[in-house]
Amino acid sequence: MPIIKVENLVKRFGKIIAVDDVSFDVEEGSIFGFLGPNGAGKTTSEVRKAIGIVFQDTTLDKDLTAYENLMFHAYLYNVKRPERVNRVNEALNFVDLFDRRKDLIKKFSGGMKRRLEVARGLIHRPRVLFLDEPTLGLDPQTRANLWEFIVELPRKHNVTIFMTTHYMEEAEVCDKIAIIDKGKIITMGTPDELKKTIGGDVIYVKTSDNAKAKAEIEKILQVDVSEKDGELFITSIKGDACIPVLIKTLGDTVLSVRLQRPTLNDVFLKMTGKAIRHDEASAGDNIKAEVRAYRRKVDRS
């Protein structure tokens, strides 16, 4: 049985439909991701009865130490007094912040705060941990370091991860991904399953005579050849196996060859007609404002 089962979920903010008839399952012990642009309805689809949540915006108390933040959380979630210290220390060790436990949060970097928020979300031993854009605003190295911790959670803490993101490389770690846009799930599957919908690898070839090379490739490999920006390109299920054949066929006329594997951005582009930009301005900023206000309300309760 799935640990989360959603059927025909609809969420409205006034006249705006943020989530439109969404259904999906999440298997226990897996990493499930909602992939989509800002304003697509990813955050609104969180199951609000979730036990553990790491919000997109930092909710740590900056005037408390790391240890005090986690102890306060343990108290709020009714962790038994004899267990609190051990759980807090265990969580701090897991995210490699035990040596900084006495430091005030205001002295922490963005990456350290994110790691501490993940630790805080684990204090009460949740079955499901929701991560809303967990690495938003972090530099690439810090994001990579944080993901080293996150991908270990299912195995080390027996927790199911449900995350929202618009970073393609983050979605790659998911066992299953739902691509969502304009409040609807466009497609769903494992990263490999989704990339297979593209039709295979793309091989780009630049030659000294593209017109002649195009005719030779189509004759020998029996495939359609297209041209863009001075390069010929073909799609193949096993692109790496085709490259030696291409070089042998075209000989010294080959100037360059490159292989591009299908990416999740290619999938998103195919399914929605647009790519996800990390810096895109959200057309649904009014939705996000209301969502953030709602999250702050939930966090205070």
Tokens of 159: 């927790």
**Which domain covers residue 208, as residue numbers?**
200-261
The answer to whether residues 236 and 126 belong to one domain is no
Q: What is the CATH number of the domain that holds 248?
A: 3.30.70.260
Q: Flag residues of the chain having pLDDT under 50.
A: 46-50, 278-295, 298
Q: What is the CATH number of the domain that holds 133?
A: 3.40.50.300
The answer to whether residues 233 and 129 belong to one domain is no
The answer to whether residues 167 and 291 belong to one domain is yes
What is the per-residue pLDDT for 28?
Answer: 92
The answer to whether residues 217 and 274 belong to one domain is no
The answer to whether residues 115 and 223 belong to one domain is no
The answer to whether residues 251 and 273 belong to one domain is no
The answer to whether residues 147 and 236 belong to one domain is no
What does the pLDDT look like over 92-146, one tens digit per residue? 998 889 999 999 999 999 889 988 998 898 888 888 988 888 887 777 887 787 8
Separation between Cα atoms, residue 203 and residue 198, nearest integer Å? 13
Comparing C-alpha atoms, which of 34, 41, 21 is closest to residue 183?
A: 41
Count of domains for the chain:
2
What is the per-residue pLDDT for 285?
Answer: 39
The CB-side HSE value for 154 (13 A sphere, CA atoms) comes to 14
The answer to whether residues 110 and 229 belong to one domain is no
What is the per-residue pLDDT for 51?
Answer: 64
Enclosing H/E stretch for 181: strand 176-181
The answer to whether residues 38 and 140 belong to one domain is yes
Task: Compute how many other C-beta atoms are within 10 angstroms of the C-beta atom of residue 183.
Answer: 25
The answer to whether residues 133 and 182 belong to one domain is yes
What is the per-residue pLDDT for 274?
Answer: 61
What is the per-residue pLDDT for 252?
Answer: 92
Separation between Cα atoms, residue 287 and residue 171, nearest integer Å? 23
